[in-house]
Amino acid sequence: MSNLKWCRNCLNASTRPRISFDKRGWCNACQWMEEKRSIDWDKREEMLLSIIGKHKRHGGPYDCIVAVSGGKDGSYVSHTLKTRYGLTPLCITVRPPLSLDIGDDNLKSFINSGYEHLLISPNSSIMQKLDRIGFINFGQGYYGWLISIHTAVLRIAERFGISLVFYSEDGEIEYGGSTSRKNDPVYGVDYMRAAYLNSTYEQAMTLASLGENDSYWFSFPDTLYEALSEIEVTHFSFYENWDPYRNYLIAKEFCGMKEKEESSVGTFTNFSQTDQKLAALHYYLMYLKFGFGRATQDAGIEIRRGSMSRDQAINLVKLYDDEIPVQFYEDYCNYYQLSRTEFEEILDKFANKELFEKIDGRWIAKFSIK
């Protein structure tokens, strides 16, 4: 508690993994916001064109792979690569567990707006097993799915002989994490494991004890490492000034994306990560572990894009950040095969006792954002 602090520009907290602050008290996401103003984006687009030229249509029907969910960011990247750069992407979705109707509808609308698409549905019992391991052991509610959106996409790249893979934004750099690779356009498996799987991948796979066939869509085998010498993985956010709200407007206009009628659990927005129920649990666990939730992250984005003041953001965070996704608890318990008591005991296990105290069955923050 004595070391807890918040970014003086946005609301990123010092508890965020891999975050750093400058002498002004600005976090690395806000420093990156400033740095982007002086980046030569024309030069970065030249880098993009060079990478595209290197990989385009090597004997197959597709120029690249784009990881999509039917949401704003993957839709925007696919639309931009197709209409601005003339590429034919193969768009890939890994089916999320406990999907929401709006997410399913948005994915259909995206496909129907004119894209080649593969929906990968790994064995649901294996996905469930890994998600359960992630929840119980690491406080990560959709860890199996998180693994597969990397491993399964790379499997398809290997099988189809597609050597260029696009993900949307690098969350580490854009939202407050390690900026060690901010000048590197491509990355590999080691970065995926460290930044996106929190360096717990090997432990999770050991606990799962899967056979070779069962682990296929969830594994980084040696052969895949060898294949990656020919595959380049990149974030589209490297090549332009990333703006999630602009992405939403483009996805809505050209890809048929619809937002929810009400705001999402734990935040004031209604157009982001609407594909699955487990997203709400992911953000609530983040709040319990680190003292900041989905509203903090969304407010930081709005502050950095200049559409919200810090004082406005604080008010919204106080209203939304600690919202509990209790409406999905029955679904969560059924999915993880846990009783309600067992489920809540796991939540309690991951609650940061230095930041919270439990009063009348609810975790209450001991801190006030400053």
Q: What is the pLDDT of residues 40-68, one digit of tens each?
A: 999 999 999 999 999 887 667 999 999 99
Q: What is the pLDDT of residues 170-207, one digit of tens each?
A: 999 999 988 888 999 998 877 887 778 877 888 999 99
**Ramachandran region, residue 326 (left: φ > 0; alpha: ψ -120 to 50; beta: rest):** alpha
Position 199 scores a pLDDT of 78
Assigned architecture for domain 41-239: 3-Layer(aba) Sandwich (3.40)
Spell out the residues 6+ positions from residue 166 whose beta carbon is closer than 8 angstroms to its own: 64, 65, 66, 67, 77, 81, 89, 234, 235, 236
| CA R_g for the chain | 20
Q: What is the pLDDT of residues 62-120, one digit of tens each?
A: 999 999 999 999 999 999 999 999 999 999 999 999 999 999 999 999 999 999 999 99
More reliable by pLDDT, 34 or 219 = 34
Identity of the residue numbered 212? E
Helix 294-304 / helix 310-320 crossing angle, nearest 10 deg: 160
Share of the chain above pLDDT 70, in %: 97
Mean pLDDT of the chain: 93
CB 238 within 8 A of CB 170: yes
pTM of the model: 0.94
Domain boundaries in the chain?
41-239, 263-365
User: Other C-beta atoms within 10 Å of 85: how many?
Assistant: 15
More reliable by pLDDT, 293 or 229 = 293
